[in-house]
């Protein structure tokens, strides 16, 4: 059963949100809509369902109508973590939004396709592009792909990559495929590998790092992660690929999938990722930018998994981007 949102503060925020949209333009019908959940939406989170159902509506507004209790599932209040079940009846209120400027509309975009069939899509995500909108980002990969594939019945992220991380990103085109991929990711049955350039001389050919990670929010609202004893179990296997003087090219294999796991593990050990603006060496990053490294050197180069519908063993890879290759060549020439 979906948890009810009982926080009075959330209700106050919802009331304020309603007052703030009193002068907004109506983009939908002036009536409540009731939708019964079918197989395509079963198992989906309510916030993601609403994003698909209310095309063009910002996530911030979706969270407002959830907090205010206007959205109901089987006549009960729910929060954004509610997962819908087959046959659930969802109450969707009339949505009023400010008329959005043309520049704010989601642009149609495609990304390099690494693998695709009728159930799965794997793309090569470039650095600097968020996987989804929110937290100050109007839109991301998923919104752009949905805009370019408007006839797709379903298109959902199977996992996530940090905005500044490039590489393999899996998406599902069927609900059954999404559920199957999530099960593999949750049970540690996928093989996710990254390439990271760390500052410093890495000592071991192969090293298992088990450091618990804790997520927190700074006073300025920025979300961060740190190593802490009461954090979530986190396990990364690092393998040295090549030494470049004071740099080390590492392969990172994720045994768990925590937020910023590779970045925080390396920074905590004293080997921050080159170009990492959140956990890295900021003075060195400025120097590296002058030398041609304009981004964080972290690339999701491979993922192995079983096809969620056929059981076939699959391995999808993405070559190192040219800008990172060029930087390695520069380091090789100077070492």
pLDDT reported for residue 29: 42
Q: Residue 314: which H helix or E strand, with range?
A: strand 313-317
CATH of domain 113-334: 3.30.2350.10
CA of 196: how far to CAs of 164, 210, 317, in Å? 12, 18, 15
Query: Is there a shared CATH topology between the 8-94 domain and the 113-334 domain?
Result: no
Helix axes 8-20, 59-67, angle to 10 degrees: 120
Domain ranges of the chain: 8-94, 113-334
Residues in the chain: 335
Strand pairing of 298-306 and 166-172? parallel
pLDDT reported for residue 76: 92
Strand pairing of 113-116 and 89-92? unpaired
In this structure, CATH architecture of domain 8-94: Roll (3.10)
Which parts of 55-151 fold into alpha helices (H)?
Answer: 59-67, 141-148
CA distance 87 to 39: 9
pLDDT reported for residue 97: 56
CA of 312: how far to CAs of 114, 175, 257, 306, in Å? 17, 18, 23, 5
> pTM for the full model?
0.73
CA distance 287 to 253: 28
Q: Is 162 a catalytic residue?
A: yes
pLDDT per position in the chain (335 positions), as tens? Answer: 565 444 444 444 444 444 433 333 344 445 788 888 887 788 888 988 888 788 778 777 888 889 889 999 999 999 988 999 989 999 998 876 544 433 357 777 789 999 999 999 999 999 999 888 765 667 789 888 988 888 888 899 999 999 999 999 999 999 999 999 999 999 999 999 999 999 999 999 999 999 999 999 888 778 899 999 999 999 999 999 999 999 999 999 999 999 999 999 999 999 999 999 999 999 999 999 999 999 999 999 999 999 999 999 999 999 999 999 999 999 998 86
CA distance 319 to 273: 19
Helix axes 59-67, 46-53, angle to 10 degrees: 120
pLDDT reported for residue 163: 93
As to burial, measured by CB atoms within 10 angstroms (0-12 exposed, 13-18 middle, 19+ buried), residue 21 is middle
CA distance 95 to 47: 14
pLDDT reported for residue 6: 44
Given the residues 47, 162, 276, 281, the one annotated as active site: 162
CA distance 257 to 158: 12
């Amino acid at each position: 059963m979906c948890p009810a949102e009982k926080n009075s503060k959330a209700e106050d925020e919802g009331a304020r949100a309603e007052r703030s949209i009193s002068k907004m333009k109506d983009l939908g019908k002036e009536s409540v809509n009731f939708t019964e959940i079918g197989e395509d939406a079963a198992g989906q989170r309510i916030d993601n369902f609403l994003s698909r159902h209310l095309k063009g509506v910002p996530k911030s507004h979706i969270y407002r109508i959830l907090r205010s209790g206007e959205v109901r599932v089987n006549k009960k209040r729910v929060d954004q973590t509610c997962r819908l079940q087959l046959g659930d009846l969802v109450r969707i209120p009339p949505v009023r939004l400010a008329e959005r400027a043309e520049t704010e509309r989601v642009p149609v975009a495609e990304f390099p396709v690494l693998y695709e069939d009728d159930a799965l899509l794997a793309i090569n995500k470039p650095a600097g592009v968020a996987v989804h909108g929110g937290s100050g980002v109007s839109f991301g990969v998923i919104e752009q792909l949905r805009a370019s594939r408007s006839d797709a019945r379903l298109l959902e992220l199977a996992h996530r990559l940090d905005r500044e991380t490039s590489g393999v990103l899996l998406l599902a085109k069927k609900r059954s495929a999404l559920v199957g991929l999530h099960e593999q990711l949750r049970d540690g049955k996928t093989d996710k590998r990254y390439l990271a350039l760390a500052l410093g001389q890495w000592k071991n050919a192969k090293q298992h790092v088990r450091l618990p990670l804790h997520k927190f929010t700074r006073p300025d609202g920025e979300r961060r992660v740190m190593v802490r004893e009461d954090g979530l179990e986190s396990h990364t296997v690092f393998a040295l690929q090549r030494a470049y003087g004071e740099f080390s090219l590492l392969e990172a294999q994720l045994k768990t999938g925590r937020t910023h796991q590779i970045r925080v593990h390396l920074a905590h050990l004293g080997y921050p990722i080159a170009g990492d603006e959140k956990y890295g060496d900021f003075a060195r990053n400025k120097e590296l930018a002058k030398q041609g490294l304009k981004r964080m050197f972290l690339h999701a180069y491979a993922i192995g998994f079983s096809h969620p519908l056929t059981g076939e063993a699959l391995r999808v890879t993405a070559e190192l981007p040219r800008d990172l290759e060029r930087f390695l060549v520069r380091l090789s020439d100077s070492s």
